[in-house]
Copies of this chain bind each other. A is one copy, B any other.
Amino acid sequence: MDRLARILPILHWGRAYDRHALVSDGVAAVIVTIMLIPQSLAYAMLAGLPPVIGLYASILPLVAYALLGSSRTLSVGPVAVVSLLTATAASGVAAPGSPEYVAAALILAFLSGLILVAMGIFRLGFVANLLSHPVISGFITASSLLIATGQIKHILGIKAEGATLPEMLASLLENRSGIHGPTLAIGALATAFLFWSRRFLKPLLIRLGIASRPAALLARTGPVIVVAASIAAVILLDPGVAVVGEVPQGLPPLSRPVFDPALWRALLPSAFLIALIGFVESVSVAQTLAAKRRQSISPDQELIGLGMANLAAAFSSGYPVTGGFARSVVNFDAGAQTPAAGALTALGIALASVFLTPLLFHLPVAVLAATITVAVLSLADFGALRRTWRYSRSDFSALAVTLAATLAVGVETGIIAGIAVSVLLHLWASSRPHVAVIGQVPGTQHFRNVRRHRVICTPEVLGLRIDESLFFANARAIETVIQQEAAARPELRHVVLNCAAVNSIDASALESLELVMHRLSDAGIALHLSEVKGPVMDRLERSDFLHHLTGQVHLSHYHAIQALAPQAARTAHRAGLRGLSR
């Protein structure tokens, strides 16, 4: 039962579900529905899809997540960054506006759903760790800039193109003469009101006597007010601005991703990035919210929940979805207790797509663009550049490369370049392990770095302490260090590696040790090990290394020195007052 409840979390919270929880969830669902209608339309437009697809992506996927997700309060659906990634990927294989483009978005939802579910089943959530914080930060800031810039044309009422920031800006400049007055008026007013309501609506409502929490929730209705007001304005004034137009009325039609191996192969890398980015964003929101109520989430179960949500999107005319930050916070603040709030939100959106769609005909595109712009600009975090620069140059490079590559080349190149740079910088840092030449502290059995302590060494025996696990990134560096230290000591006969800090030795490092051993042996020098940890020793015993070992494995470094340079060890011992064992 417990195991089943882990796979189907609804069995866990569903049993304790009562009227109280239903009321809380219901209230939250109403508020999130109101917030989600303009957002869904806007993000679908950002993804280059008909606005109604945004509504469709906010129905069945929410139900799937409610059944399988491990977060109580995460709200899934279309989000800005994933919509941008969808637009980039789909426009690589089809013309925006074509049926093939819509089909490509469906395939992306299907493939990223499969990838997420597979990662959940095989517990591969750790792959998300490839995305370091600086890379995510750089990517989100760059994406929000790209998205906001991409909306300017809708607000100005002109045509413009381009996938990168320089291209977009050049195209906007080129077409600047075509600015359409009424569109700009509506777009600018909407943008200004949305910025104002984000910052000042809540304090105003509080000053009007509304309690803090409902004021915060009401302040989130800014986009709905703008949508309603602009529809009214268009109907009354008929200013000739671009509008959303016919939106099909009714529930989402069932769909099926087209099977086309070549197309799937072309979209697979993008689907992988969408899955990864969506998962990282979603888990970080879910963990933050869970912690506030001392709940916990399971990353592997999240993969399954998000994956099934995307598969649901693929079979109900949607496009890739994930957990959104803003809407999850609203859901949480509005008092959602269980995933049932998500299912109720789905019901709300379903009702909206049946009854409200005719009203959306006159909704100005410029207002949707304003909604997107204001939402994404709050994601950009320029302060991170300064903070990261101060903290670490290496993390800053990863952030800067991601930011620059995303803006100048594209979103996919940006993420991949960021991952590559952060992995390379990490391997670079690991490739220079700290290796100390050690000698005996007089009067003790302790061995310390010769550079920091007054210690006793002998010309025939070299003690080296390696302060890191040995693996492929530092194996060659260890070879070089040992060889250089040995080359500098003409009287040398024994090298003793102190392995107290070595937690593991991989096959590359083992081969390097064998190489070093043979090279030292050619020069008449024996290689010894001391203080090898249990698990490392177990593994070494499974190789031939210990059979060939030209020296021995010593229990402690002191034992090694006693055996190899008894004279020196005794001198060092007498030099102090008495021995102190650890």
Binding site for B on A (CB under 8 A): 126-134, 283-284, 287-288, 291-292, 294-296, 299, 387-388, 390-392, 394-395, 399, 422-424, 426-429, 431-432, 467, 471-477, 479-480, 483-484, 486-487, 503-504, 506-508, 510-512, 515, 518-520, 522-523, 539, 542-544
Contacts and interface: CB of A to CB of B under 8 A. Distances in A.
Nearest to A484: B296
A222 to B, nearest CB: 26
A390 B542 contact: yes
Contacts of A511: 133
A508 B132 contact: yes
A131 B544 CA distance: 23
Given A126-B428, A522-B291, A539 B476 contact: no
Contact of A487 (B295, B424, B510): B295
Chain B CB within 10 Å — which of A128, A294, A295, A296 has the most? A294
28 contacts: A126-B477, A129-B431, A129-B472, A129-B474, A129-B476, A130-B472, A131-B472, A132-B475, A133-B472, A133-B507, A133-B511, A133-B512, A134-B507, A283-B476, A287-B483, A291-B483, A291-B519, A292-B523, A294-B487, A295-B487, A296-B484, A296-B487, A390-B543, A391-B542, A392-B507, A392-B539, A395-B506, A395-B508
A148 to B, nearest CB: 24
Contacts of A423: 423, 427
Would you list the 7 A-B pairs with minimal beta carbon distance, nearest first? A291-B519, A132-B472, A395-B507, A133-B508, A132-B508, A133-B511, A126-B431
- Indicate the member of A126, A296, A473 with the most B CB atoms within 10 Å: A126
B424 A543 contact: no
A391 B522 contact: no
Contacts of A294: 486-487, 523
Contacts of A126: 427-428, 431-432, 473, 477
A518 B131 CA distance: 22
A391 B487 contact: no
B519 A292 contact: yes
A330 to B, nearest CB: 18
B426 A127 contact: no
Most chain B beta-carbon neighbours within 10 Å: one of A471, A476, A523: A476
B387 A134 contact: no
Task: Identify the interface centre among A129, A484, A520: most chain B CB within 10 Å of its CB.
Answer: A129
Contact of A394 (B299, B506, B522): B506
Contacts of A130: 424, 427, 472-473
Contacts of A127: 424
Contact of A479 (B287, B387, B424, B510): B287
A382 to B, nearest CB: 15
A470 to B, nearest CB: 12
A296 B471 CA distance: 23
Contacts of A132: 471-472, 475, 506-508
